Amino acid sequence: MADANCIFCKIGSGEIPADKLFDDGRVFAIRDINPKAPVHILVIPRAHTEALADAPSDGAADAARCVEAAPGVAREAGLDASGYRLVANQGADSGQEVPHFHLHILGGRALGPMG
Ligand code: AMP
Ligand code: ZN
């Protein structure tokens, strides 16, 4: 179910245009507008689910689909040999800014330890 105020729902529906690096109808990938690494891509389910904890089973399946899609998206972005990090922020302590589940792909430099 789309959320009328949600930026990722609007990108998913095409209401806000964005270059999609990948799109299988169910999940899509875009470049992060404020990259935290030389390559920073978001893999986003089209359906609105705020957090994994709230996800109905199809929401969890969407999250799994993001994980499935990530290696191909990362390969296309040239990260295959150098590696990358997958991150899913959940809730306040993670600093989650957009309350629509998504997976970050970060790479293109040594990312250092997680903190
Ligand atoms: P999170 O903190 O995990 O919710 O991550 C949200 C990410 O979405 C941040 O890295 C933002 O830079 C990114 N972001 C917000 N709006 C857009 C947008 N319109 N297009 C691409 N990335 C965006
Ligand atoms: Zn949404």
Q: How far is the CA of 32 from the centre of ligand 1 (A)?
A: 6
pLDDT tens for each residue of 33-89: 999 999 999 999 999 999 888 877 777 899 999 999 999 999 999 999 999 999 999
Is 54 domain-assigned? Answer: yes
CATH number at residue 32: 3.30.428.10
Q: Please report whether residue 71 resides in a domain.
A: yes
| Mutate-to-test residue for ligand 1 from 11, 89, 97, highest number of ligand atoms within 8 A of CB | 97
Residues with Cβ–ion distance below 5 A, ligand 2 = 3, 6, 8-9, 48, 100
47 within some domain: yes
Task: Report if residue 2 sits inside a domain.
Answer: no
pLDDT in the model for residue 86: 98
Please indicate, yes or no, if residue 55 is contained in any of the structural domains: yes
114 assigned to some structural domain: no
From the list 28, 90, 99, 94, the residue with the least C-alpha distance to 65 is 28
Residues at CB less than 6 angstroms from ligand 1: 7, 30, 32-34, 42, 89, 95-98
Domain enclosing residue 69, as ranges: 7-107
Residue 104 has pLDDT above 90, yes or no: yes
Q: What percent of the chain has pLDDT over 90?
A: 87
State how far the Cα of 9 lies from the Cα of 88, in Å rounded to an integer: 17
Q: Is residue 58, in this structure, part of any structural domain at all? A: yes
Q: Are 87 and 63 in contact (CB under 8 A)?
A: no
Question: What is the reported pTM?
Answer: 0.96
Look at the chain and report how many structural domains it folds into. 1
Q: Is the residue at 115 inside a domain?
A: no
